[in-house]
Structure 1
Amino acid sequence: MAARVRDLTESIISPAREQERWCAAEADRILSERGLRVDEVGRTRLARAVSNAIHRASLTLGQAASGDFSSLPSRSFPPLAKHGAAGSYQSKAHVLKPARLTLSGLFEEWWQEAKNAGRKPSTHESYEKTVRYLVAFLKHDDATRVTAKDIVDFKNYRLKTPLKRTGKVPSNKTVKDSDLAALKTLFGWAVINSKLPENPVGKLTLKVGKKQRLRPKGFIESEAQAILSAALHYVSGEREDVRTAAAKRWLPWLCAFSGARVGEMGQLRRMDLRREGDLWVIRITPEAGTVKTDEARDVVMHQQLVELGFPAFVAASAEGPLFLTPGKGGDVLGPLAGLLNRMREFVRPIVPDPNVQPNHGWRHLFTTICEEAEINPRVYNAIMGHAGRTVAESYGDVTLKAKATAIRRLPSFDIEKLRAIASGRREMHGIASFLDAADPPS
């Protein structure tokens, strides 16, 4: 009798154990395919979910086999068409295709989540450009068709294809930090969110050698003087927007005395300048557009900017941005990107050296000037919007008083020298025009 009970018990338990092992193996397969790692509790929960899904499916199939389709969505059963004399029935050819996953669509889905997490508009611009390059290279926009070989071929193509704007081939660093980084992030997000089974970028990377440094990263004194002279004497074009002309007049000076990013100053609004006692204070804030650290900061204006009339210019300006016209719906970031391009175009002929960035050279120069003036690094980093280098530097605040003391130590630029530079430039321009007129092209 006992033996019969054991046999009966085993006949009941064995299938259950087999099903348990199968569900556990299926859970492991799912986790492996998606590149996920969980603890034993999570693994057990997933195995139970698999078991429940199989149980529900078996019940549904059993009902369908007996002719009861009430638990199934009606779209699963397309209309039946009668065929043949015998009156047999055959399903119409009707297949529901899954929604197509495009690379551009994948990027937009990722961006909606990334934007909410605080990723910068510059990231959107960079990633979107990479996706456009990849789609053009592949000649299709289907994310599900992208293979690891496609990515390797794309990398090699980018490394040997000159850019239309500059005529230069992208560096290893550009392809690694822009293209590969963007694609690795996008496809990784797609895998985590169960949109793709694997990341075709995988562990692909690119070796970057140390770049030769042929000159200082910032503007040297003569370059800074040439730019400030051009800004001081700038005359707007006949059809140039008044805000663009104002940007060329004031942005170089604002950046020279603050080390701020050109975009931070380019998005300034009339309301961002205020008077506190004998100080003029500029408020740089993400509310105006974008700030890399997502933190607002105050910059005390140098006395030479006051003497040149910047507060008077602001007082005479209309409400809203000083240097750009917002786009549809009040968009600032699009017009700001255009303004940054126009500022590069303004500075590049003055400083043609490709080894210095036209819109970033001021930050390096400002640091150099502050070091020469023996200003406390914590103070000038706070003015520039740099994060603290240590935990200790996050304690306490760099006050307006400390910033004002530092700004007063910065030397003014020699206006007479700047005027002489402008006069020499006009003289050279006049000679060039005379020579062109005297020797017209054949």
Structure 2
Amino acid sequence: MRMPGYGETQPRLDDDRMPVILVTLDGLGDRPVPELSGRTPAEAARTPVLDRLTARGSSGWHIPFGWGRAPASELAHWAMFGYSDIPFPGRAVLEGVGAGIDLPLDAATTFAALRTSCVQNGQVWITGRVGKDDAADADRLFEELAPLFDKADAQLHPVGRGEAVLVLPHHTRGDVTDSDPFFEDFHPWLQVTSAGPEATDLAERLNELLLTARRHLLTSPVNAVRAADGRPALDVMTTKWSGSRRPVPDFLTHAGVAGAAVTSTRLYRGIAGLLGMRHHHLPPATDHGVDMTTRIEAAEHLIDEGARFVHIHTKATDEAGHTKQPRAKLDVLEALDPAFERFESLSERAIVAITGDHATPSADGVLHTADPTPLLVVGPTVRPDAVTRFGESFAHRGWYGTVAARDLLPLLFGHANRPVFLGHRATPRQTLALPDSPAAMPAG
């Protein structure tokens, strides 16, 4: 500590503020499964590096929105980044920004996809999606559909693999339901309905567009060739994640510190872009260990360039969970583990947190659940607790107990010697951390 100032009795504070690195292992949480002797993949995996970090740090459960509320990744991250009290724009907006589309403000935006289907009892059931070898057919179908959408003042922006961002600029709010059933074995292709008072016309317009697209796809020459070749027709367009782009505070304004991200998919590139976060995009590598090592190196570079919060994301754990093969996620965790050795030294000068955004169970007929995901935090100011192994049942005994998504960054910024001081107003809006650069008074 430095000497007190004139007339002061307390020492001046040292500037020992640290950067924060948050690693999201997407879909990390799981359920105990018989194939792993009643353990989760994280509990059963051999992860000596994560175990060493756990012994040096504090643990807990991250349950983003409470028991029983199974979040999608975009909603979990919106809250994890501290934006719970700011209206969510809709994932379609994030996907559009991530694809580099210049989305206008206050224009209804939805995410469209071509799908295969069958008709049973007068209802259309979704049976599949665009495969790796179907991209050229999907592009041609979008080319055929574009004039129909243009005529209806709707803008179709293909983004690859039979997916597109659909913008309806004459509708200001995208508060409508999904036509994509998500749970294709439980529900048929769904009718779009209004979810807000300003979206009734939008719901009607989307239903008209989707039915028009359906009629065209059923008679398309592209699908006729597919049928002749024994391939299923791409004869339905679904929509989901509707919303509209609205002004949101950038991460620096909202959090008080410069944020950055090492992104892995279009979604996370979109979140970073919308929030004004510097980002380094790395498409996933097939070797999970090499992939994570590269991401951690990129995070270190971003810190060297001035970022004080860096988010690292991998979808490998989530994809493994969706296979419904418990050993798949276990194998991914064991492959990732050696890469975390870099954190053993980095955590001597930074706060490092590793957690998941939700659970993707490796068993049962569910997509995501609110089962707990482990939370590990390590760094110079983190008090080690009694937990020495990484995994759900072990983390439950940690200091943090249960942490909600909205509390995650305040927790980490507190450890980074950046806690926002309630009672001091340095900026017009309450920030998540002590702000780095509040407006200075001119010298004269």
TM-score, normalising length: structure 2: 0.21
TM-score (norm 1): 0.22
The structure where helix makes up a greater share of residues is 1
Higher Cα radius of gyration: 1
Higher relative contact order (CA 8 A, sep 6+): 2
Higher strand share: 2
